[in-house]
Chains A and B, each alone.
Chain A
Amino acid sequence: MSKQSPSVESLVQRSYRHGFVTDIESETVPPGLSEEVIRLISARKNEPEWLLEWRLEAYRQWQQMRQPDWAQLEIEPIDFQAISYFSAPKSAQDRPRSLDEVDPKLLETYDKLGVPLHERARLAGVAVDAVFDSVSVGTTFKEELRKAGVIFCSMSEAVQDHPELVRAYLGSVVPRSDNFFAALNSAVFTDGSFVYVPRGVRCPMELSTYFRINAAETGQFERTLIVAEEGSHVSYLEGCTAPMRDENQLHAAVVELVALDDAEIKYSTVQNWYPGDEQGVGGIYNFVTKRGDCREAGARISWTQVETGSAITWKYPSCVLRGDDSVGEFYSVALTNNRQQADTGTKMIHLGKNTRSTIISKGISAGRGQNAYRGLVKIGKNAHNARNFTQCDSMLIGKRCGAHTFPYIEVNNPSAKVEHEATTSRIGEDQLFYCLQRGICEEDAVSMIVDGFCKQVFRELPMEFAVEAKALLEVSLEGAVG
């Protein structure tokens, strides 16, 4: 076998493309967490009493909990009192009425991110809700969606305009005390997106949110809730970036999906938070709880994620397949380079009859990256004829990285059929050689092979995102061979 040429090693470093700070005035609450801070957040957002109580109860539960340590992650201790729990662009007090009123600098930021709201929205027909630090700054295509009966707005607006819907579904999939970070989020969440698709409506366009952490020493705790009524359909995309900072920043979001009778929700994520530098300094801690509830018969929830950023990614987008004949899917690409760590996977909880789930996970480890798939497939007692197929493949690029697979399979019903396959191997030497022999440079060959390795997942992404995901992968991989 041929050894890698040393020149390749030198290709490794390239800086984070989205590492700029936007210089706009923002209003940030001083660091620290207390009931006072929560009351302040709630008051600032003009929230009803029940929501404040809900937050305070979550806070009390959180105080009783300990940060979990079961994952194989090296996490610097997090000082929860050093984080600022609210940071909003100053202009938020009199919120822009339309995109034209949005701070031009902010819009410029999105341009730099490659999210020109107008352009992108117009060209791609994507409705974008952009969350900057903690506050939603503008939603495009609102009018058009309203005509279809779809509600797509920031969580703050939803609390004001649709309190009955928020109250009915908030915390119904991820309870306040579900886990340490979900409890924290429940106490302090500042914004996020809210989507409601009424009965029988097929959402006329892809919905999209861009998240960005800008201010220093802030955490981002957004909360997303998507409810799809009977027979409806919605596809939702989220993209994430953050500027370069020396310290680790915490991103502890909660996403809840509720799919009723025959409804379908497709949730795609392209996550490119700042990963820290080659020495592992800085970077986002991406500790997110995502869960979908196929609450009624025939519901379908599909998670697709491309995780290339963050110092640590720790999340398990899951499906509770409660309704008979409901379907859960999880497609994931997770790439760790340098000192990045990822512990991700999914849980498929089969409760209803004839429920089906598919899990396709592709992990790529380069540099000193550590990449773990952790998942649970549980077939409950009454889940007759449940089916699961899982495929977890890991690719190793370099000698100092690690790839791990920890699947849990629990089967309680004899009519179930569960299949799990996993492979781990080095990037194919013979494939690489074949490309080189045909005159393709090593870097292109690697990204070509990795792209092929991830095809099954990319296929699940909406077109424009698939292109972006592929480009991200290339950037993140640069020079990883060696």
Chain B
Amino acid sequence: MSELAAILARELAAPPAGEAPHLAPWADGLRERARQDFSRNGLPSTRVEAWKYTSLRGLERTIGALGALPAETGPEAPPPLVDGPRLVVHNGQLAAVQGEVPTGVTITDLRTALANDREGLREMLESLPTDQPADGFVALNSADLGPGVLVHVAAGTDAGRLLLQWCSGPSAAGRLCNSRVCVRLEPGARLELIEQFEGEGAAEHCLNAVTQVHLGEQAELAHACFQQWPRGSALIALREIRQAAASRYHYTGLDAGASLVRHDVRTTLAGPGAGCRLDVACLGMARAHADNHLQVTHEAGDCASVQTFRGVLAGRARAVFNGRVLVQPGADGTDASQSSAGLLLSPHAEIDAKPELEIHADEVTASHGATVGQLDEDAIFYLRSRGLDVEAARQLLTMAFCRPVTDAMRPGPLREALSARLDAALQALGSPHG
């Protein structure tokens, strides 16, 4: 076990005095089991297949303690990406609920929800395994269960938009903060959830966030994430989604910051006729490392899934894309597609892709395409022949390269805001071309 994992395990075993949370007994049991799993497995090493391309050595240098910190009043949350009610999470703790939360939507601090044993919470939390070597961060998160938030949307409610802003204060420096977000949409409910990771805060810190989503029948969640944290910070984010029949889940991820990013988005299409779309654009510069794992499990028949990944890498950045489609026996009528493309702008950048299909049913249409390459020279010439200079032509084509990720979103202010951020971030990759 690594030194960092040993420190974290020790801290988990001896929580600071006076902070013993009063949780439902099953929650204490869950924390304890997860703590034991973490003590046994520690943090994943590159020998674990799912972490093959991601070393935690950098993290070990910057992080030295667990961040069981109170929410700080420190730096203000960044300007919101879009209008609407928002939750501010500081150092992993729910700090504020601003704006008017629509009727039918309940927002509860997770610790309170655990103490009151909110309906459905146990089933959701206990469904997440923590015992495998690849699950180190999940085990760590579950062992430290408490900070975070529960969002509940009542059946048939169109809840509109909810913004979740992740911030860190100066005291988070050198620490790893855990946080859990639970989102439950009852049948027919709809929500647009936007996670924003932006602003200065503590550079050298790590957020280990787990988001769990349960979608009832015909529920719809549009989930967007924009991340542009300062260099030096690390984000480990797992999003685990379970979908009932005819529900829809659409994830749009845009990563343009932090030094170490690990994203796992795993959806399970558990009821017939459900559909999901996972679209991610990943921009890396300097020595940034971003490891993206998208996984769709088709459990029920007649479900459709789409995965899109675009990686643009400059400097010495490295991006990993692992897309996995798993079709379980009996999931007939599955339609799954996956597309990934990487663009390397510098001789020192690297991209690793592993698009997997694992199919155990027969009436299935599944496909994937993966490419790594450069901008099309013919297209560059075409643009130049119309008067654009080389730099402008490259810029335009690079933006077009990532366009499929934002184009799949529903038209509206969110899509516009994200497209603008994407273009700005691409411009910020500078002109390392040529």
Contact = CB atoms under 8 A, between A and B. Distances in A.
Direct contact, A vs B (beta carbon within 8 Å): yes
Interface of A: 1, 70, 379, 381, 394, 396-426
Nearest to B343: A414
Given A420-B370, A420-B371, A398 B362 contact: yes
Interface stretch (B61-69, B244-252, B344-352): B344-352
B356 A405 contact: yes
Given A396-B362, A414-B346, A422 B357 contact: yes
Given A404-B359, A418-B373, A419-B371, A409 B352 contact: yes
B370 A424 contact: no
B362 A399 contact: yes
Contacts of B354: 406-409
A424 B359 contact: yes
Interface in B279-334: 329
B368 A422 contact: yes
A396 B372 contact: no
Contacts of B349: 414
B2 interface: no
Contact of B365 (A70, A412, A415, A425): A425
A417 B49 contact: no
Nearest to B433: A414
B374 interface: yes
Given A398-B362, A405-B357, A425-B364, 11 more contacts: A394-B359, A402-B358, A402-B359, A403-B357, A405-B356, A406-B354, A407-B356, A420-B353, A421-B368, A421-B370, A424-B359
A70 to B, nearest CB: 7
Contacts of B358: 402, 404-405
27 contacts: A396-B364, A402-B358, A402-B359, A402-B360, A404-B357, A405-B355, A405-B356, A405-B368, A407-B356, A409-B352, A410-B350, A410-B351, A411-B372, A412-B350, A413-B344, A414-B344, A414-B345, A414-B346, A415-B374, A416-B373, A418-B373, A419-B369, A419-B371, A422-B367, A422-B368, A424-B357, A424-B365
Contacts of A403: 357, 359
Contact of B372 (A1, A405, A409): A409
Nearest to B366: A424
Contacts of B347: 381, 413-414
B85 to A, nearest CB: 42
A417 B355 CA distance: 17
B342 interface: yes
Q: Say whether chain B's binding surface is mostly helix, strand, loop, or mixed.
A: strand
Nearest to A424: B366
Contacts of A418: 370-373
Contacts of A402: 358-360
B361 interface: yes
A417 B372 contact: yes
B362 A401 contact: yes
Contact of A424 (B351, B367, B371): B367
B363 interface: yes
A396 B361 CA distance: 8
B362 A411 contact: no
B359 A420 contact: no
A426 B346 contact: no
A419 B342 CA distance: 10
A403 B367 CA distance: 12
B167 to A, nearest CB: 35
Interface residues of B, number: 33
A401 B360 CA distance: 6
A214 to B, nearest CB: 37
A253 B10 CA distance: 50
Contacts of A422: 355, 357, 367-369
Nearest to B326: A404
A-B CB proximity, top 4 nearest = A414-B344, A420-B370, A409-B353, A417-B373
Contacts of B356: 404-407
Interface string B366-396: 1111111110000000000000000000000
A144 B238 CA distance: 66
A399 to B, nearest CB: 5
B353 A421 contact: no
A383 to B, nearest CB: 11
Contacts of B350: 410-412
Nearest to A379: B372
B429 to A, nearest CB: 13
A1 B362 CA distance: 13
Contacts of A397: 362
A363 to B, nearest CB: 10
Contacts of B342: 411
Given A406-B354, A410-B350, A414-B345, A421 B369 contact: yes
Nearest to A413: B347
A405 B369 CA distance: 12
A70 B49 contact: yes
Contacts of B365: 423-425
B285 to A, nearest CB: 14
Contacts of A379: 372
Nearest to A378: B352
A407 B355 contact: yes
Given A411-B372, A417-B373, A426 B355 contact: no
Contacts of A401: 362
Contact of B364 (A398, A415, A424): A424
A397 B363 CA distance: 9
A296 to B, nearest CB: 25
A426 B352 contact: no
Interface in B194-241: none
Contacts of B367: 421-424
Contacts of B49: 70
Contacts of A413: 344, 347
B362 A420 contact: no
Contacts of A423: 365-367
A402 B329 CA distance: 9
B374 A420 contact: no
B370 A425 contact: no
A96 to B, nearest CB: 51
A379 B351 CA distance: 10
A1 B350 CA distance: 45
Of A70, A397, A420, most B-chain CB atoms within 10 Å = A420
A135 to B, nearest CB: 41
A426 B370 contact: no
Contacts of B360: 402
Contact of A414 (B353, B359, B361, B374): B374
Contacts of B366: 423-425
A417 B374 CA distance: 7
A371 B342 CA distance: 28
B351 A411 contact: yes
Contacts of B370: 407, 409, 418-421
Contacts of B372: 379, 409, 411, 416-418
A417 B351 CA distance: 12
B49, B358, B365: most-surrounded residue (chain A CB, <10 A): B358
Nearest to B336: A424
A406 B353 CA distance: 10
B329 to A, nearest CB: 8
A418 B353 CA distance: 11
A422 B372 CA distance: 15
A409 B361 CA distance: 26
A26 to B, nearest CB: 43
Contacts of A70: 49
Nearest to A418: B372
Contacts of A420: 353, 355, 368-371
